[in-house]
Amino acid sequence: MIITKKEFKDAVKNIIVDAIKSTNDPMFTKEENKEADRNIATAMTDFYSRMITKLFAGREEWEANKEELSDSMNQCSDERMQEHPSFTTALENIACITSVGELLRTIAGNEEEETQEPQEKEFDVEEILKEAGSEQK
């Protein structure tokens, strides 16, 4: 399956938005939740920016490939740990890596929607109404 850079970015943006929505902790104050949201958004945008650079490498389309995606994901995670070796970075990487699974499902779901042929109707409502003598005009 071929995916455009824009499609990939749109899917990533949705993944990041969903991740932020799911991180609100009722035990934290509003300000603490805002800071946590900013931290996860920053980590994920950094992670996915690196992935986009690797996967698209100056191209506008990418032949979706799980091995290449996995390699890229591992490289980005390793780079982030080398630049900022901390427990927090490790946790952020786990969140980012986990989100890649959701990204794959999103991309695969979009592919299914695009390639699914229109299903033939089991019944034609107009034909049934006509046979029943209830032709609506």
Span 17-58, pLDDT tens digits: 988 888 778 898 989 989 989 998 999 999 999 999 999 998
CA proximity to 104, closest of 43, 58, 55: 55
pTM for the model stands at 0.74
Measure the N-to-C terminal CA separation of the chain; round to a whole number of Å: 45
Span 67-101, pLDDT tens digits: 999 999 999 999 999 999 999 999 999 999 999 98
